[in-house]
């Protein structure tokens, strides 16, 4: 089976073209291929498939085999894959995901995709729809007790659930200890992705992310979008800001007119290979 390793801001996945290849047990394959010692090494597996409602369909699996609704960084790489491999000649495409249909604008340089802007859709703030086990119309700056400490948390869904926590310093954060505590907290019935954020100024944010099913990753596109939305709701930033992640920068805008979040970032092919 042929595959391609790609990354968006260091968030690396293995991509399989299911127009040409057949995958019978995607969960098991994701676990095997994602292993960084005995496999290819990645944050997960992405299947590029035909769609009856969009130009293409994306299914994605975390490195633990669980299926996720959506990944912003992966969606950018799908856009690069299908254009660079001549599966489309359009520079604006639609992509079916479990979080709905996403619209991608491809930025071309020397005949190849160098960056992609993804319409990530409208943020979901109602706790029951994120989901968070809490009452009310939103979950903004509420206190949650995690491992005997209290944290002010804002929750947002960008098609998948996120909890945003602001801190004065995140470089020294022992994320491998606190991350799983948030991920598996009883308030989050479908687990949670957690972003730990330092506000640099009203146009710049720094974040680290603990992704459910994957642990700490170098970047998370939906997470960066959730962070920008949360920061606007908490009056910490303007509606357009650069989010600095371990793997690189993403430009995020929450458009006031259409209430949609737009993410722009790179998409990079690392190598191609064959899995036996």
The residues, any chain, with a CB within 8 Å of residue 153's CB and separated by 6 or more, are: 139, 141, 142, 143, 144, 163, 164, 165
Active site positions, annotated: 71, 220
Q: Are 76 and 221 in contact (CB under 8 A)?
A: yes
| Backbone φ/ψ region at 235: left (φ over 0), alpha (ψ -120 to 50), beta | left
The residues, any chain, with a CB within 8 Å of residue 55's CB and separated by 6 or more, are: 82, 88, 90, 93, 94, 95
């Amino acid at each position: 089976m042929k595959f391609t390793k790609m990354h968006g801001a260091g968030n690396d996945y293995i991509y399989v073209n299911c127009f040409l290849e057949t995958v019978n047990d995607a969960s098991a394959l994701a676990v095997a291929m994602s292993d960084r010692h005995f496999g290819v090494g990645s944050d997960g597996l992405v299947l590029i498939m035909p769609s009856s409602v969009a130009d293409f369909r994306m299914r994605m699996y975390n490195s633990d085999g669980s299926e996720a609704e959506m990944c912003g960084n992966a969606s950018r790489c799908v856009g690069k894959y299908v254009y660079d491999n001549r599966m489309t000649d359009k520079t604006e495409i639609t992509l079916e995901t479990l979080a709905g249909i996403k619209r991608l604008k491809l930025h071309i340089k020397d005949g190849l995709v160098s960056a992609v802007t993804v319409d990530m859709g409208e943020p979901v703030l109602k706790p029951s729809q994120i989901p968070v086990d809490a009452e009310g119309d939103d979950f903004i700056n509420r206190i949650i007790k995690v491992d005997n400490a209290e944290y002010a948390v804002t929750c947002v869904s960008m098609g998948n659930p996120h909890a945003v926590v602001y801190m004065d310093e995140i470089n020294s954060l022992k994320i491998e200890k606190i991350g799983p505590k948030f991920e598996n907290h009883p308030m989050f019935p479908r687990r949670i992705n957690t972003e730990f954020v330092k506000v640099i100024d009203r146009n710049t944010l720094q974040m680290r992310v603990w992704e459910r099913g994957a642990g700490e990753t170098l970047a998370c596109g939906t997470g960066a979008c959730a962070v920008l939305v949360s920061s606007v709701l908490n009056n910490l930033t303007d509606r357009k800001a650069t989010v600095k992640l371990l793997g690189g920068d993403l430009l995020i805008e929450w458009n006031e007119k259409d209430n949609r979040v737009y993410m722009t970032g790179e998409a990079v092919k690392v190598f191609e290979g064959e899995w036996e």
